[in-house]
Amino acid sequence: MIETETFIPDVIKLDKKTSKKDMSWTSFFITLAFIIIFRVFVLEPHNVSGSSMDDTFKDGDYVIVDKISYRFKNPEKGDVIVFNPPASVENKSRFIKRVIATPTETIEVLDGKTYINKKVVTEDYVKYKSPKTSASTFLDDNQYFVMGDNRYVSFDSRYWGPIVKDEIQGRVLLRLYPFNKIAFFPGAKEYSGNK
């Protein structure tokens, strides 16, 4: 026969209480770390501010940005991206614009028309064309030319030149608000004949 002392279960009970409390704090911190890592490296919410992407995006739209895809592939023409503005721009808020031209292409905006490698591009998503022109620009291996869909008011690569890939935070994956316009890859377009 084996005898046990009665105080052992009490010690075990005390350890279970302590361990449950420790487990709950550990779970909390692991969950918090996961959320932070997910938010910083995978998906990030943004509110659209301004009218430079009208009619594709309106002021106040709430979007989710995919921050991981461009680690494995390059942005393509027609992608709607969120990026940090170049150092020359005073406004340090992130911008949302459309990729118009990609590395090793030559772009020119003249009389409201966009030319890539001297061919005019059809842009059915452009709300208002702008008289603003830009000189012919050749894009280096890491450069992208971006513009807003509302060209008349958009402050973009026509003013401050191309952006580099490192400035790009990600592409718009999902519009969550307004609720009647929920969509995956909202505004994504391909240029026919210019891929």
Residue 67 annotated as catalytic: no
Burial call 100-123: b when 16+ CB within 10 Å, e when fewer: bbbbebebbbeeeebebeeeebeb
Question: Of 1, 11, 170, nearest to 75 (Cα)?
Answer: 170
User: From residue 170, how far is each of 74, 75, 82, 165 by CA, in Å?
Assistant: 10, 9, 6, 10
Question: How far apart, in whole angstroms, are the C-alpha atoms of residue 33 and residue 54?
Answer: 37
Catalytic residue among 67, 77, 97, 189: 97
Task: Give residue 39's region: left, alpha or beta (phi > 0; psi -120 to 50).
Answer: alpha
> One of 51, 52, 130, 157 is an active-site residue; which one?
52
Residue 126 has a CB neighbour count (10 Å cut-off) of 21
Contact present, 30 and 132 (Cβ < 8 Å) = no
User: Does residue 97 carry a catalytic annotation?
Assistant: yes
Q: What residues act catalytically?
A: 52, 97
